[in-house]
């Protein structure tokens, strides 16, 4: 009786490992696209799309009276200033890979790195 139980547990572990491997491979394929642009949205509406190969420093007017300063430099993007109270968006650091996001919830601003 115990041998059947161990076989079932072993099979379950193998299935979990196979699914994990498939998800990891899919993740690498989807996010391996070279990053080309950053898409900036406020309250869910895309307001600007900028090229990551061109350095920029822009001020985005967010929800209400909130603002975020977004800097693009050397193919990376980050939030350098924000009027939100917690400043979590600033502490997210630099992002450069396709699929990565910078989010400021109080100002409802999101910068999403996209591929082609």
Q: What is the mean pLDDT of each run of 10 residues along the chain (116 residues)?
A: 73 94 80 79 92 92 90 93 91 89 93 86
pTM above 0.75, yes or no: no
Question: What is residue 28's predicted lDDT score, i.e. its pLDDT?
Answer: 73
The candidate with the shortest Cα–Cα distance to 92, out of 113, 78, 112, is 78
Q: How far is CA 6 from CA 2, 11, 15, 16, 56, in A?
A: 6, 8, 14, 15, 59
Q: CB under 8 Å to 78, separation ≥6 — which residues? A: 70, 71, 90, 92, 93, 94, 95, 102
Compute CA distances 85 → 41, 89, 94, whole Å: 20, 10, 20
Look at residue 24 in the predicted model and tell me its pLDDT.
Answer: 87
């Amino acid at each position: 009786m115990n041998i059947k139980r161990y076989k079932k547990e072993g099979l379950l572990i193998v299935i979990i490992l196979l699914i994990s491997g498939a998800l990891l491979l899919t993740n690498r394929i989807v996010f391996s696209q070279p990053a080309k642009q950053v898409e900036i949205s406020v309250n869910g509406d895309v307001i600007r799309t900028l090229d990551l190969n061109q350095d920029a420093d822009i001020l985005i007017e967010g929800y209400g009276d909130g603002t975020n300063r977004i800097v693009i430099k050397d193919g990376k993007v980050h939030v350098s200033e924000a009027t939100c109270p917690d400043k979590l968006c600033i502490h997210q650091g630099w992002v450069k890979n396709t699929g990565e996001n910078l989010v400021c919830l109080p100002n409802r601003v999101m910068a999403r790195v996209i591929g082609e």
